Structure 1
Amino acid sequence: MKKRWLMITAGAVVAVLLAVVALPFLIDVNRFRPKLEAEASEALGRTVKVGNLRLSILGGKVIAENIAIADDPAFSQFDFLQAKSVEIGVELKPLIFSRQLNITEIVIEQPQISILKASDGSYNFSSLGGASQPDKAVQLPKGSRLEVARLRIDHGKLTVAVVGSPRGAQVYDDFNVAVTDFSATSQFHFLLTCKLPGGGDAKLSGKTGPIRASKVAATPLDASATVHNLDLSGYGLIDPASGISGQMSLDGNLSSDGNTAIVSGAVTGTSMTFAPRGRPSTEAITIQTRAELNLATQLVNITQSDIAIGNAKFKMTGTIENKPEGRVANLKLTGKSVPLDAIQAVLPSAAVRLPLGSHLQGGTLSVDFAITGPLASPTAAGHVLVMDTKLVGYNLGEQLGSSAAFAGKAISQPDTSIHRMSCDSKATRAGSTSTNIESDISDVAYSTGEGTVSPDGALHYVLQSYPTKATLQAAWLVD
């Protein structure tokens, strides 16, 4: 009897295994392909092509091969997304007994996604959804539901380019997206991570939705954002010829109501340079910032940008406008009575060179600058004022040699005390000019004049000096 029951049990197990093996051949999941393509095409407003479908009973998955989503024809005739395979988790009971396809999970492996931006600021993904009313959520065909418990994109490659721009495309490797409780018509949670062009990585997590029908970029969003070690030169944010480079990190928030996107948080810059002949700063620069982006006009309004270098504080506000020739800045940078000791480590990054072996001690710096023009090569113009500092380790009177006798005696102190120094300065990629120079150097001279610094660092200054403790005047040409 016992042997008989063992044989019956073994036979049942074999029958179940045979059924599991046979079911994929008995259920032709390719019959769902036209419906799947049609509903996906209707929902996205783009032609969606799906290759061969295979059923994995043990995994509860339908595996689709060679997925392709067409691009907006106004941008290109190539595919917006391509993937060799997509795993679609399904509910097996409705599929087996009712021939009904209910999707529970979608996993897209190693896709290639192409993002294109037009000169008016619109993107090729903005028209995903295909509806004609931009302020309404996606409307699906009657009886259809585009709801998925989990949606993932694993190890993709995202390419971003500007239509008609000579600059090459930016490539984001290891692009990953994880979405839970996805629905086109309600809010859902997401997590996005990727590696950045040139180095560094980024993470964006939060909630978004419902998806706007005719403009996906206007979909509401509330998320936290972190960026580590973004390389300004490698990322292509700024023309390398400007001399601005370094690594930047961000820890902040990104939100959008569909009309205005707001970015706020703390930005940290390391190894920064601000001039073509600048050397990387050894001091980190932190910025507490808040900026608003008008999604329709692409106008960036920087409402807060508190810049800190140690206990030195600066402020910057203004706008960055999107124009056909590129982004154009209209910014204002100010700093009042900033301790010079705090910013000494970043002076070489702006190509400020002190005499060999010397350093500043004490005193303050005040600046009031306007930064205008193309963001790739802006013009910075404004006023600079230095008060009550000492150049330790450099004796200007001694360097002037016998001219120091004009003051009635030779200067013997090893340092140079600067009571006041100011000028109007203008800096571009073609070099810098200084006008209305005034300097009051204790025990040496009061000087006025103007001068230039070429891009390769060559100086040409004409100064007229009035030595202290004497009536004799002297004119100096520094070239």
Structure 2
Amino acid sequence: MEQHVRKILIGFAVTLTLILLAALIVPSFIDWNRFKAEIESQARLATGRELTIGGDISFSVLPAPTLAVADVALANIPGASETPLLRLKRLDAQISLLPLLTGKIEIARFDLQQPEIFLEITPEGQNNWTFAARPQAEEAPGPATVPETGEANGAAPDIRLDELNIRDGAVTYTNRQTDTQLQITGIKATLSANSLQGPFTIDASVTLNGTALALESSVGNLAGTRATPVTATLDIDSGKGRIDFRGSVADPGPALRVSGAVGASGKNLSALLATLSQLPGSGAPPATLPPFLAQPYHLAFDMTATSDLVRIRDLAARLGDATINGSGAVEIGADTNFEMLLSANTLDLSNWQFANTSSSKPASTNPQADDTAANGGTAAIPATGNSLLPENISGTVGVAVQAVKFNGDFVRDIALDLQIAKGNANLRNLSLNLPGSSKFRLSGAAVATDGKPSFGGRMSFSSESLRQLLAWSGTDISAVPEERLRRLNAKAELNVTPELAQIYALTATLDSSSVSGGLAYALRARPSFGVELKIDQLNADAYLPAAAPPQGATATAKPKSGGTGKTAEPSPLAILDSFDSNFKFSVDALTYQGVVLKALTLNGTLLDRQLQLAQAAIGDVAGASINLRADLKALSSVPEGTARLQLDAKNLAGIATLTGLKLPVPAAQLGAAKLTADFGLSPADGVKSSLDATLGGTRLDARMTVTQLSLSEPAATLERAQLKLDAKLENASLAALSKQFNLPLAPG
């Protein structure tokens, strides 16, 4: 009996072994390619897309369950490009055998070779990553059942992933509506997980639009109520930048809370910014970056973030040797509120290097003038309606720096107080103290009207030692006497738009002179400005260097005749061709070379290389008045146009002193003078002039024409030039004429 039972058990064991061996070995001999059609059909039902398996499918159990699939493609949507949505060269998966016997799933290896995903938005706005809903089969209602396993109760299955590898992956996003494209290439990643709840580790590298990115991260166990530790390091473009996070994640879901320390560092901030400018959404890269950005940088702060609040503490930002500390917070919701505070004790910027199309109508100094905002100016700041920013954003920014060392001295007490509310910015205060006991203050508001941004505000400046300030700024004032450029006080209002910057209601005091008026500069490709200034009195002699004593006669080079092969010297008026302007100056009293000039006026327009001088006048200079009007063009080459000079003087003493003219006889003897001179310049007609003058009892009427004289090379063509002069001199008495000019005339 025992022997019979023993034979039965042996037979049963042999049979069971054969069954197990068959189960382990037979799958290797099955042609799994026969199931391609069924797999592709099920995929079509699940996604609504055609799945194509172009390569072989293989499955084996020994030495470990292994699945391999080659050449897989998932079709795109109609209307998209011919490229499939997904393409995979090969998939290899291996599961450990022994853990399966205990009910555990341990994926020893899961490899994806050359996975490519092509995301696209069609010209009609349809995306290709939204799949059709899977059809649901009609099922008859059955009796209610009670699940008996933990998995049925929602517990995560016991799955372990030892290694997930992605090699040579790529993702391409194309928006055919906006004609933009984003490319992620060279995807290489390794992921492992002890379970679906973690811990997780990832090591990945990609190339995003030409920029190399590398990520190393670890995430702790997500199960339980404790916060999950998270670490991550992102390397940007092979060391140009590095971002680190060390913290935790708690309460995944709506109550998510992230906290930890964030750091960013690199050897060259300029190189990092240039790299980031190539990434999608960063806009056009800047033409040049300030040289001082080419320094090591470091940023560190502690962060706490929830779905409705982000708080930053212990912020430290360093560029080179300069460090700024701060804190901030952002409340996120229907309305977004923020607060940022930055401070520093002393910033040493001694070694920083900072240096490195339109209508031609001149700018007006009138802040209400609309016609000066020309089309084709610089690009406007984006604005919507009557707000510069979204109206649901509000907050404050505060900056306080005790001192900044630069160029050998200190800028002290720098303060910024900025408020954002209802979509506009209110600059409550920007102030700083400069060298030379100088103070600058600015306040105002940045708003938008009908989508057009503008800034309007008030500014003030005062300096008790202007010379010290100018010397610190690098301005050479050695030629100005020491007792001048001592004090300056100024205040003004300003208005700035993308087309025009204006300073108006300007009042200033420089030493003993008072100035009022306004300035404007049009932000165009061709410089264009307007200026209107009124000065009560100015002693120009006090600002000019003392005249050097005469050193003897200096030989004057005789111009060579006929030398036409040499390049002509540029005209001193050529600079007037480089900008447009309207200008109006007036000085109540100007002292120059000891002569007081009263009621000076200069008023005109420079437009499209044409100067229209409406008035250049001196109301009173030693009893004389002078007025000049002109209309000239082609100022940089051969001037062309007309001019009129008028003079009315009780005597010529003041004019002689002002111009250095030596009169042949005393000015009182010559008598009163009145003169009107007209000039005409033309390349074709040469120089024409007419003179109508009276001097005492003598009148001169003259007409002069100069031909064959090149106005561009007058010295070279002087010998061939021809002069025609018609003059008439009148005096009622020859004796009076002789006496007036001390002429040796005697009767009969």
Q: TM-score range by the shorter chain?
A: 0.5 to 0.7
On the 8 A contact 2:301/2:314 being kept in 1, the answer is yes
The residue matched to 1:473 in structure 2 has which SS? strand
The structure, 1 or 2, with the larger RCO (C-alpha pairs under 8 Å, 6+ apart) is 1
Gaps of 5+ in 2: 1-24, 77-82, 121-128, 131-149, 278-284, 357-405, 466-485, 521-748
**1:153 Cα deviation (Å)?**
1.9
TM-superposition CA deviations, 1:1-50 (whole Å, max 9, x none):
xxxxxxxxxxxxxxxxxxxxx9886145569999999xx9xxxx999989
How many residues are paired up?
A: 361
Query: In the alignment, what sits opposite 2:343?
Result: 335
Paired with 2:507 and 2:424, the residues of 1 have a C-alpha distance of 31
Name the aligned partner's letter for residue 478 of structure 1.
L
* Residue identity matched to 2:29: L
Judge conservation of contact 2:183–2:208 (CA < 8 Å) in 1.
yes
Residue matched to 2:168: 155
Matched, 1:362 2:406: no
Q: Please report the TM-score for the alignment, with normalisation by the length of structure 1.
A: 0.55
**Secondary structure at the counterpart of residue 290 of structure 2:** coil
Q: How do 1:41-440 residues align onto structure 2 when only pairs under 5 Å count?
A: 51=53, 53-55=57-59, 61-65=66-70, 83-91=88-96, 103-112=107-116, 145-158=158-171, 170-197=182-209, 199-210=211-222, 220=228, 222-229=230-237, 249-253=242-246, 255-257=248-250, 258=252, 259-262=256-259, 264-268=261-265, 270-271=269-270, 279-283=289-293, 284=295, 285-294=297-306, 296=307, 300-309=310-319, 310-315=321-326, 317-319=328-330, 321=332, 330-335=338-343, 338-339=346-347, 341=349, 345=353, 361-364=409-412, 366-370=414-418, 372=420, 381-389=427-435, 417=436, 419-424=438-443, 433=455, 435-440=457-462
C-alpha distance 459-382 of structure 1, shift in aligned 2 (>3 A): same
**DSSP 3-state at the match of 1:63:** strand
Structure 1: stretches of 5+ with no match in the other structure: 1-21, 72-77, 117-123, 126-136, 213-218, 231-246, 349-357, 390-416
Are 2:290 and 2:355, in contact at CA under 8 Å, matched by a contact in 1? no
* C-alpha spacing 1:303/1:114, structure 2 compared with 1 (3 Å): farther
Distance 1:329 1:276, change over 3 A: farther
Q: Which residue of 2 aligns with 1:243?
A: none
Q: Aligned AA for 2:164?
A: L
* Cα RMSD (Å): 5.8
Structure holding more helix per residue? 1
Residues 314 and 25 from structure 1, CA distance in 2 versus in 1: closer, same or farther, beyond 3 angstroms? closer
- State how far apart, in whole Å, the 2-side matches of 1:252 and 1:143 are: 28
Please report how far the alpha carbon of residue 222 of structure 1 lies from its aligned counterpart in structure 2 after TM superposition: 0.8
More off after superposition, 283-292 vs 441-450: 283-292
Q: Distance in 1 between matches of 2:105 and 2:337?
A: 53
Residues 277 and 156 (structure 1 numbering): CA distance in 2 closer, same or farther, change over 3 Å?
Answer: closer
CA separation of 1:223 and 1:280: change in aligned 2, threshold 3 A: same
Counterparts of 1:419 and 1:330, CA distance in 2? 33
User: Does structure 2 conserve the Cα–Cα contact (< 8 Å) formed by 1:109 and 1:156?
Assistant: yes
Q: Tell me by how many angstroms 1:152 deviates.
A: 1.6
Distance, in Å, in 1 between the alignment partners of 2:162 and 2:433 is 64
Partner in structure 2 of residue 464 of structure 1 = 507
Q: Structure 1 residues 101 and 304 mapped into 2: Cα distance closer, same or farther (>3 Å)?
A: closer
Q: Which structure has the bigger radius of gyration?
A: 2
Q: Secondary structure at the match of 2:349?
A: helix
